Amino acid sequence: MDSPTPHLILAHEGPVPLDILEAFQAAVAVDGLKFRREARMGERASGSMTLLAFSGVGLFLTKAYFHDPLGALGPAHAPVLDSALRELGRRLMALPFRRPTARDPVEVADRYSPVLSVWTERDADSRFKMLIPVDPSPASLDAALSTYLTFAQAYHTGALEPEDLEILAGVRPLAGVALLAYDDASGTIQPVDPFEGRGVVAR
């Protein structure tokens, strides 16, 4: 018998403290939520391709999460997930990790953290990967994660504005991954070009 599709998958690689992962799992737990935690092998990548690779901890929100037939997840569970994800982000970003050597100009791959990313399905053939900046302020980290969850919910329930859908339709996934990031100036989610670091702001 096939296992039911999980709603949330918390995947990790490397020496991530298990208490951080367990605390997140406990925080999001509700009746009906199918949660899976899995360890992954490290991926070898360099340069801009590191943006397409897995991060130390990656949270996958599957399509099933947004289309739960019992109605216990999605909008009803959103405040729980939002709070738990922000706490997970704070704890992970406080961990020591190797940062890139400063150089000018800073390459786009060096602007984002290798510690945390959030993934959602884009379509049958690709995924969105939400990148987290290196060394964000607590307020910026909270805003980035909360805004992305709002975006993901709107995308999967058909609530995005037509102009936002048009922008996203123009994003060509690379190796099945469409990169997104939070823009502090506009308070929006925007596409990220892994090679040029230029994107069009999604209002």
Q: Is residue 58 part of a domain?
A: yes
Average pLDDT, integer, range 94-107: 59
pLDDT greater than 60 at residue 152: yes
In a domain, 201, yes or no: no
> Taking the model in full, what pTM does it have?
0.84
Q: Does residue 145 lie within any of the structural domains?
A: yes
Gyration radius of the chain over CA positions:
16
Residue pLDDT, tens place only, 8-21: 999 998 788 899 99
Domain count, the chain: 1
Helix (H) or strand (E) holding 84: helix 78-93
Domain, as residue range, for 44: 8-191
pLDDT at residue 145, as a whole number: 97
Residue 108: the pLDDT is 61
Within-domain flag for 146? yes
Q: What is the pLDDT of residue 99?
A: 54
Please name which of 79, 86, 69 lies closest in space to residue 34, comparing C-alpha atoms.
69
DSSP for 137-182? Answer: -HHHHHHHHHHHHHHHHHHHTT-S-HHHHHHHHTPPPBTTEEEEEE
Other CB atoms within 10 A of residue 176 CB: 12
Least confident of 8-22, 67-81, 83-97: 67-81
